[in-house]
Structure 1
Amino acid sequence: MHKEVISDREGICLVILFISGSTLAMPTGAAAGRDLWLAILFAIVIAIPILLIYAKLLSLFLGKDLFDILEYGFGKIIGKGIGILFIWFAFHLGVLSIRNIGEFPVTVSLPETPIPIFTLSMIMLAIWIVKEGIEVLGRWANIFVLFNAPIPSMIILMLIPIMDINNIQPILYDGINPLLKGTFEAFAFPFAETVLFTMIVSSLKTKKSSYNIYIKGLLLGGMLILGVSLTEVLVLGPDLYGATFFPNHVVARKVDIGETLQRMEVIVILATTTASFLKMSVCLLAVCNGIAKIFNLDDYRGFVTPIGLLMFNFAIFIYKSINEMTMWASSIWPYYAFLFQVILPIVLFIVVMIKRNSVST
């Protein structure tokens, strides 16, 4: 199978869009209330050492992905077993992303339209681009990041006149516990979800590429989310922010500059949809690449369509309502994902370093 190589710039754009995917629509770290901006800032800081571990693993095994590294660290049987767990994690995250992107337009603008209409069209596009490979996905991200990143920044500037600084004061008014909970939520969703890139990025140009992709992507994407979330709290207030399913859309509707700029929420929907599309495509690629590695297949493209359609079917039935979706994202997902985002990567890193040191001595 042809080795697909992406540039550092394309990798950074992939991480930025992946991080901002569902997060531009759904709130993250809402438990922190008026200290949301602090929670996201702390989450970025905490995520840096974890993402450095992801980058280090890819740097040590240039040309290899997570599944190859798992077999090196734990042996073929245990390594494949843990690899199956990561495949499930990527599959589950992809299902959640598909449902998020289905709920978003139906809730904010087209309530009479069935959710499968949106989700099926998006998953078919994801199937197509994943079959084309990560090189095409990287070039796509390189183009669309120029569309997604400036739009939230432009809306933030236009909303400055109606921002209320009292909505984030006083700092730590509710104590430290809400801040810690909000930080944990923001860390798990979306920053540490980038563990999926260890499953698909195996052919980088240099050993430093993984560090550039992870850290620059985290900082740029994190600053984007920080700016958007801070704006939402400043405009809506912490209570309304926490009670709103899609605060970014609500905030964008408040943009009204004479007869010139109105209905900015339409552009927000487009930006959110394209970023979410990238996220579900990365998840689908991670699942298919993992299956190919577990079963020693030469190419993953043969089963992209059935896996994509299976993810689509799961997405339709995984939640009974949007309330259940938001509850899962804030209350259950951070603890469920911690095993895959932190514990297993750290254990793998320790085992790999011990084995490499024992070999070198």
Structure 2
Amino acid sequence: MNKTDISAKQMEATVALYLVGSSLVSGGSTRAQQDTWFCMLAAIILIIPLAWVHSRILQLYPGQDYFQNIFLALGRPAGLAVCVLLIMNALNIGAIVLRLFSEFVHIINMTETPVIFILASITTVLVYILNSRLYVLARVSKFVLPYIFVSVAITLLLSYRAMDLNNLKPVLHSRPADLLSGIVTSFTIPYSEIVLCAPMFGVLDRKANTFHVFLKGILFAFIILFTAYLRNTLVLGYAASTYNFPSYEAVSVIQLGDFFTRIEVLIGINLLLAGFVKSGVLLFTSCEGLAKVFGYKDYGPLVAPVSLLILTASVLVSKDTVEMYRWIEDLPIYSMPFQVLLPILVLIVGKIRRKFKKPAKQGVEPAAAAPRKT
């Protein structure tokens, strides 16, 4: 394994924090209200086949990264169109996530600080990290993930006095339309967004099992998000859906005597760390995709300009927090084609083209490196 390659454990942690990212801040509530736990369970089942699709796309032409496999599977014109759509989706979600975390910092801790200054500060650190290569972000993720696991578990235990099991009742009493909407929302935000972290697997250790890495990262994210949702709902009840940052509000009730208070500061750190990793992954995907589209050998020269583009979009995406959450509510509607339909289409077309490719043209395929396990 090269020094710049990412190990399986590092990739699992990066995928987990990427998925946790903004959902840990927004709380994961859906129209299903107290039945959102059922929607989350359904979403984790639905994402397994999609993770398999992404792992198979990465194996269409061994030795090539995600975007290169799309070009080879669809051909240059169609592959270019699909890559551009994925890049636009990454830029859009990147702008929303960056704005979400800047609003969190602004509202909770730095009310007198202009949002643009917070955005610029986060973006500057992201540029520095990605210019140091992706493996630096992956190593940070491996270090941060255990801390988030422990802090979520501790806050769950310490908030037991404020919990009320009646907040989960009546069980499965939501309307079918609300349950379906909740499943779609839980599936789209965040699980189907793994399409935008798939390009990272181009620097994954060749001996790693791609599909298993996807599954473990998704499982780690699910454990964190499901635990946080139960904590928020049991403590806040129906009011959880009315708060902008329910995780922060739920933990703020924890108090042990007069000496152990303000533990929500730890949760604030968790949210910022997870959001930082997610923003970094989205920035990398945007830069890597643009590098492939424009024929650059390396994404490095694009980091700064793409960061400025995302920064500008995050300022323009909404006027305030209310408008920002309206964007997030509409995200499943226009993200579904990019995150679900396009990957399935790429895999089907790629398999068909490989199967019916004429023997005379097989020599055009790129030289296969040591294939990853699936």
Q: TM-score range by the shorter chain?
A: over 0.9
- SS of alignment partner, residue 69 of structure 2: helix
Paired position in structure 2 for 1:289: 288
1:152 aligned partner, one-letter code: V
Does residue 1:195 correspond to 2:208, yes or no? no
Paired position in structure 2 for 1:79: 79
Paired position in structure 1 for 2:257: 258
C-alpha distance in structure 2 between counterparts of 1:64 and 1:160, whole Å: 49
Q: CA deviation at 1:4?
A: 4.1
Q: Over the residues paired in the alignment, what is the CA RMSD in angstroms?
A: 1.7
C-alpha distance in structure 2 between counterparts of 1:227 and 1:40, whole Å: 11
Cα contact 1:73–1:352 (8 A) shared by 2: yes
Paired position in structure 1 for 2:66: 66
Paired position in structure 1 for 2:211: 211
Does residue 1:113 correspond to 2:113, yes or no? yes
Paired position in structure 2 for 1:356: 354
C-alpha distance in structure 2 between counterparts of 1:210 and 1:115, whole Å: 39
Greater CA drift, 195-204 or 295-304:
195-204
Match of 2:335 among 337, 341, 348: 337
Does residue 1:308 correspond to 2:322, yes or no? no
Paired position in structure 1 for 2:363: none
1:80 aligned partner, one-letter code: L
Cα contact 1:62–1:203 (8 A) shared by 2: no
Change (3 A) 1:136 1:233: same
Report 1:37-76 matches (<5 A).
37-76=37-76
C-alpha distance in structure 1 between counterparts of 2:110 and 2:280, whole Å: 24
Could you give the per-residue CA deviations for residues 73-103 of structure 1, whole angstroms, max 9, x where no partner exists?
Answer: 2111221122111111111111111101111
- SS of alignment partner, residue 112 of structure 2: coil
Superposition TM-score, scaled by structure 2 size: 0.92
Cα contact 2:7–2:208 (8 A) shared by 1: no
**What count of residue pairs does the alignment treat as equivalent?**
358
Could you give the per-residue CA deviations for residues 25-50 of structure 1, whole angstroms, max 9, x where no partner exists?
Answer: 11324211010111111111111111
Could you give the per-residue CA deviations for residues 124-157 of structure 1, whole angstroms, max 9, x where no partner exists?
Answer: 0101111111111111111111222211111011
Greater CA drift, 333-342 or 144-153:
144-153
Q: What percent of counterpart residues are identical?
A: 28
1:96 aligned partner, one-letter code: I
C-alpha distance in structure 2 between counterparts of 1:261 and 1:212, whole Å: 41
Cα contact 2:20–2:225 (8 A) shared by 1: yes
Q: CA deviation at 1:111?
A: 2.3
Greater CA drift, 93-102 or 73-82:
73-82
C-alpha distance in structure 1 between counterparts of 2:331 and 2:63, whole Å: 31
Cα contact 1:29–1:39 (8 A) shared by 2: no
Paired position in structure 1 for 2:362: none
C-alpha distance in structure 1 between counterparts of 2:125 and 2:203, whole Å: 24
C-alpha distance in structure 1 between counterparts of 2:109 and 2:138, whole Å: 30
Paired position in structure 2 for 1:280: 279
Instruction: Give the gaps of 5 or more residues in structure 1.
Output: none
Paired position in structure 1 for 2:317: 318
Q: CA deviation at 1:208?
A: 5.1
Cα contact 2:27–2:232 (8 A) shared by 1: no
C-alpha distance in structure 1 between counterparts of 2:3 and 2:152, whole Å: 35
